[in-house]
Structure 1
Amino acid sequence: MSADRISRRAFAAGIAALALARRASAQGYAGLGESADGFAKVTPGRTFTFPADHGPHPDFRIEWWYLTANLVDSSGAACGLQWTLFRQAAQPGPQGEGWANQQIWMAHAAVTRADTHRFSEAFSRGGVGQAGVTAKPFAAWIDDWEMKGFERTDDRTLSPLTLKAAGTDFSYALTLEADRPVVLQGDHGYSRKSERGQASYYYSQPFYRARGTLTIDDKSVDVSGKAWMDREWSSQPLDADQTGWDWLSLHLSSGDKLMLYRLRQKDGKDYPFGNWISASGNTQMIAGGDIQMTPKATVDVAGRKLPVEWQIAIPSRAFSISCKPLNPKAWMGTGFSYWEGPISFAGTHDGVGYLELTGY
């Protein structure tokens, strides 16, 4: 690698870290409650258009392409992986060219087994081709990490795709396929995050079938299972008094899917919300008053107490489960630190999924 490339990479990472650290110390988790003056606003009634909405929305302050996968290897052992690309605008306005571009890109990759959790992080400044997203054919990348489609990729299902990433002690390469369209979360894609108007545009592809290879410490295994991708963009997804969230994506053995979250508020009046997705892809919102999310056990990680075991109930659906992590130590010690890892659950329903805990 040339000295010029090294200095540009270092410059990009430094600028990104400074900008992101400023926001992280502002309001709420990662500064997501910070005022978004000058950026586009999230309002109800938007019509989603594909493939365009698979691509970036630079008029909004933040967005992400976020995939988690619950897998098993050839011996039947459970494992999981995460691939995430974040875009954050340092300031609003027309897009600058080259190094003057105000977009900052950040990516996280992780693999988790019962006995280990590995993660890596990458940064880039926009405008120089090192990171970005294109809508058709779909491609999201930073350096050689990528989530990539083909000419034949279906815009409705965002399938098939290939996925790859590598850290110093792990790597993975998957093929993702789905036979049902992406799912609009919330109210036709308008996802409220508070009673005071904070919201995001949000859709998911929870029906991916994943197959490929996972390598840890130079030992490769074949893996297969289920994957879930989330797409969100917003300019102020949290209110200033919201400190973080507890989020779950659940693959039920029946074929149904369930997305749940609660936004934690400083006054203790959390904001929960959910979406039940049938095996055929139909959705039904679940009102906050019908969701019971109760932490049952905590673990000490990185000087924090984290609620990694949960009791979840939705009385209107006679739904009651207990969730346990594959690895309680699945801490992402990245620039914005958080807990993210695969879980299993049992009770009135059983299956696997992912849990994310931020702001602790």
Structure 2
Amino acid sequence: MKIKIGVLLLALLSGCDDSAPVQKGFAGLGDSAVAFTPVVPGRPFSFPADHGVHEGFRIEWWYVTANLKDAQGRDFGVQWTLFRSALNAAPQASGWRNQTIWLGHAAVTSASVHHAAERYARGGVGQAGVQAAPFEAWIDDWQFSTQASAAEPLANLQLKARDRRFSYALRLTSNRPLVLQGEQGFSQKSEQGQASYYYSQPFFQARGELEIDGQRYTVSGPAWLDREWSSQPLTANQTGWDWFSLHLDNGEQLMLYRMRHKNGAPYLTGTWIDVQGRAQTLHAGEISLVPLDTANVAGRSMPVRWAIKIPGKQLDVITQSLNPNAWMDLRIPYWEGPVRLSGNQGGTGYLEMTGY
């Protein structure tokens, strides 16, 4: 979904108000959000407007991952995420009266190194934000911005982030259609009806420069954009998720996630995307997603190797983490890193695991 990772920001919000109630479910995302706009089926999407901010909703995020190689065939991963969270459902004021919090996460991963960084900002003062036309998302000097026309803002984008241990500057291009996840963009997260609006661009090709610990690399490879917004994406019984975005070598794409519960079986779903960009929702009975090997990461047992089977698509693969120690050691910690596929299909992708 990544739900992507985006929904983690609400854990931060509980620290902004000493009177906040005890969190229910993972990161407080099972708490009631009755004052905010609900997510309901049948909403028509409108582009480029939906690339921008959705006031009235509790949380949304712009999330990019890229699986990259250099000329020597060495593998790397890059993540860039911007989260917006509203402290109330009212229209947001300008200046310091603004009740929006922004959070940025950026990371790079190689087979031996994983570095992550974060930025925080208050809305209304220009330090962070998103505009739909021309498209630009930023927090401080971290930027995700269009280099294309207003009519096709996601055809050509620049992605930048910098920290003391790493930096990257990538150009992302695609002439492929956007993909609406779930049922025409209504992405359900539980049997009780929790959901988000969710679309992706899984067909980006990335190219640019990456620097890790003073070593510079020229890299290229596939990239994936996820966009989601919601007001209550989890139930109080849900403890976290395992989310995959996979680029198959035959040109098809696969998104899967399972929402884990304190009690009962996980909520499991996904999307199969063919080479033309046509999406098909996958239901739990059509998916086998089984954790295999674990690794001790930051004092936690993390499933870093998985078996995935989609019998209806003749897919039978194993995902192996490029770097099992891809722990995002931030104020809101989680695991996220690139994976490689083996089995009856090759490929690359990203895995995110929260709530462990």
TM over 0.5: yes
**DSSP 3-state at the match of 1:284:** strand
Q: Which residue of 1 aligns with 2:214?
A: 218
Q: Choose from 331, 341, 351 the match for 1:335.
A: 331
Query: CA 1:32/1:178 → structure 2, altered by over 3 Å: closer, same or farther?
Result: same
Equivalences for residues 224-235 of structure 1 within 5 A: 224-235=220-231
Correspondent of 1:206 among 182, 185, 202: 202
1:183 to 179, 197, 200: 179
Matched residues in 1 for 2:299 and 2:351: separation? 19
The 3-state SS of whatever aligns with 2:293 is strand
Matched, 1:132 2:125: no
What letter matches 1:179 in structure 2? N
Summarize deviations over 1:278-334 as a string: whole Å, max 9, x none. Answer: 111011111111111111011111121111110011122221111100000000011
Aligned counterparts of 1:84 and 1:29: Cα–Cα separation in 2? 19
Contact 2:148/2:155, CA 8 A, preserved across alignment: no
Cα shift at 1:96: 2.4
> SS of the counterpart of 1:36?
coil
2:245 aligned to which of 246, 249, 254: 249
Q: Matched residues in 2 for 1:226 and 1:187: separation?
A: 25
Amino acid at match of 2:64: L
How far apart, in 2, do the equivalents of 1:206 and 1:315 lie? 22
**Quick one: distance in 2 between partners of 1:209 and 1:83?**
15
Instruction: Give 1:29 shift.
Output: 2.1
Partners in 1 of 2:21 and 2:242 — Cα distance?
A: 18
CA distance in 1 between partners of 2:57 and 2:178 (Å): 21
Gap change, CA 1:331 and 1:17, over 3 Å in 2:
farther
> Which of 248, 263, 287 is the aligned partner of 1:267?
263
Q: Report how far residue 268 of structure 1 moved.
A: 2.9
Quote the offset at 1:20 in angstroms: 9.0
Matched with 1:66 is 63
Ranges in structure 2 where 5+ consecutive residues have no aligned partner: 1-11
Label 1:163 to 1:352 Cα distance change in 2 as closer, same or farther (>3 A).
same
Shift, 1:179, TM fit: 1.1
Q: Could you say what secondary structure the match of 1:86 adopts? A: strand
Match of 2:36 in 1: 39
Q: Secondary structure at the match of 2:50?
A: helix
SS at match of 1:316: helix
Instruction: Say yes or no: does 1:165 pair with 2:161.
Output: yes
Structure 2 residue 46 is matched with structure 1 residue 30: no
Identity %: 54
Which among 266, 269, 276 is matched to residue 272 of structure 2? 276
Q: Report SS of the residue matched to 2:184.
A: coil
Conserved? CA contact 1:85–1:141, under 8 Å: yes
The yes-or-no answer on 1:290 pairing with 2:286 is: yes
Partner amino acid, structure 2, of 1:139:
E
CA 1:351 to 1:109, structure 2 compared with 1: closer, same or farther past 3 Å? same
Query: CA–CA distance in 1 between the matches of 2:109 and 2:20?
Result: 29
User: Which residues of structure 1 form unaligned runs of 5+?
Assistant: 1-14
Residue equivalent to 1:6: none
Give the letter aligned to residue 142 of structure 1: I
Offset of 1:266 from its aligned partner? 1.1
What is the TM-score of this pair, normalised by structure 1? 0.93
For the pair 1:104 / 2:77, whether they are aligned, the reply is no
Aligned AA for 2:111?
A: A
Q: Is the 8 A contact 1:16 1:125 kept in 2?
A: no
Whether contact under 8 Å (2:14, 2:20) holds in the other structure is no
CA contact (8 A) 1:174 1:210 kept: yes
Q: Given the superposition, is the C-alpha separation of residues 21 and 193 from structure 1 closer, same or farther in structure 2, using an over 3 Å criterion?
A: farther
Q: What is the one-letter code of the residue matched to 1:70?
A: N
TM superposition shift of 1:226 = 0.4
Say if 1:206 and 1:133 are closer, same or farther in 2 by CA, change over 3 A: same
Alpha-carbon distance in 2 for matches of 1:183, 1:333: 31
> Which one of the candidate residues 300, 318, 342 is aligned to 1:346?
342
Does the C-alpha gap of structure 1 residues 154 and 77 become closer, same or farther in structure 2, counting only changes over 3 Å?
farther
Distance 1:63 1:20, change over 3 A: farther
- Please identify runs of 4+ aligned residues in structure 1 that moved more than 4 A: 20-25
Partner of 1:145: 142
**Any conservation in 2 of the 1:23–1:30 contact (CA below 8 Å)?**
no
Q: TM-score, normalised by structure 2?
A: 0.94
Q: What's the CA shift for 1:97?
A: 2.3
Partner secondary structure for residue 248 of structure 1: strand
2:55–2:91 Cα contact (<8 Å) kept: no
1:18 is paired with a residue whose SS is helix
Deviation at 1:23, TM superposition (A): 7.6
How far residue 24 of structure 1 moved from its aligned partner, in angstroms, is: 11
Q: Does 1:118 align with 2:115?
A: yes
Q: Which amino acid aligns with 1:307?
A: P
More deviation, 73-82/310-319: 310-319
8 Å contact from structure 1 (residues 62, 235) kept in 2: yes
2:304/2:320 contact within 8 Å kept: yes
Quote the Cα distance in structure 2 between the aligned partners of 1:22 and 1:353: 41
